[in-house]
Structure 1
């Protein structure tokens, strides 16, 4: 009976043990393709504001944004070019401001806009690589009414942040 129980447990758990979904090998191509984070930027999302609301980042730099929502309502942090932000804003308005919690890339990775939703009192992290061309990128909250109330900021792409 004991042997049968052990065998049953092994059969049930072996797929879980065999594939954790993570490749911890240092020679992993996925790990070698991920850009190294060069800088961490802390941002606070409050009642219709971001602090800071203006940043400087060197082109091509990979940044870790750590966004803390200090407000009593959910917020979003979306970063991308002006045209990508406009497209994201339109989609958020069509969807009533909901796209799911913590959606890095927001399902629009091909549009180079990345976003996360941050619940009140929570902190979310977003890894983003600055483009190598252009001079200005926008970040904003596109929950309906938030952008219009001034919840936005600018990243200036400069050689020395």
Structure 2
């Protein structure tokens, strides 16, 4: 019986690991990033509080957490960011946090599941670097990026993206 339990557990873990292989990399139906932006996340700051990106551009963000605490990098319209912020303030389990409080699941399954394809988020462990692929919208809303872990946004971990055809 123990053998079957161990076999089932191994199969479940292996399947999850294989399903996430290449996560953060463009899938076959996603465009290849034409630009890479490196961002550092420190003790309650991002090293840039404004980015300029050409509309429709697919960007590879490499976010390095140089702090001793976890951070997140979430990007999307101001409306989507507000929804994500409210969910995080209510103790949402969007990060994969379980009963043990471990919030270091890595990615938020790439896209936030709020019906908007141009929102994405990733959680970055202390001392780690994560990659996030995102495509800027062709037009429209104000785009923001932020860390919504409790207290981080309020401390200033946020920035804006200006959609600019001369980026």
TM-score of Structure 1 vs Structure 2, range by shorter chain = 0.7 to 0.9
Q: How far apart, CA to CA, are the structure 2 residues paired with 1:97 and 1:141?
A: 15
- Structure-1 residue corresponding to 2:63: 67
Would you say the 8 A contact 1:99–1:106 is kept in 2? no
Alignment of 1:23-62 (within 5 A): 31=28, 33-62=29-58
- When residues 106 and 61 of structure 1 are mapped into structure 2, their CA distance, relative to the original with a 3 A threshold, is closer
Alignment of 1:141-152 (within 5 A): 141-152=147-158
Q: Deviations over 1:35-75 (max 9, x none)?
A: 12100000000011101121100000000000000000000
Q: How far apart, CA to CA, are the structure 1 residues paired with 2:111 and 2:95?
A: 7
Q: How far apart, CA to CA, are the structure 2 residues paired with 1:64 and 1:96?
A: 27
- Structure-2 residue corresponding to 1:90: 86
- Across the aligned residues of Structure 1 and Structure 2, the Cα RMSD in angstroms comes to 2.3
Would you say the 8 A contact 2:73–2:146 is kept in 1? yes
Quote the offset at 1:103 in angstroms.
1.7
Q: Name structure 1 gaps, 5 residues minimum.
A: 1-15, 22-29
Q: What number of residue pairs does the alignment pair up?
A: 135
Look at both structures and tell me which one has the larger radius of gyration over its CA atoms.
1
Instruction: Using the TM superposition, name which of 111-120 and 36-45 deviates more.
Output: 111-120
Quote the offset at 1:105 in angstroms.
3.0
Q: How far apart, CA to CA, are the structure 1 residues paired with 2:164 and 2:154?
A: 27
Q: Name structure 2 gaps, 5 residues minimum.
A: 1-13, 20-26, 97-104
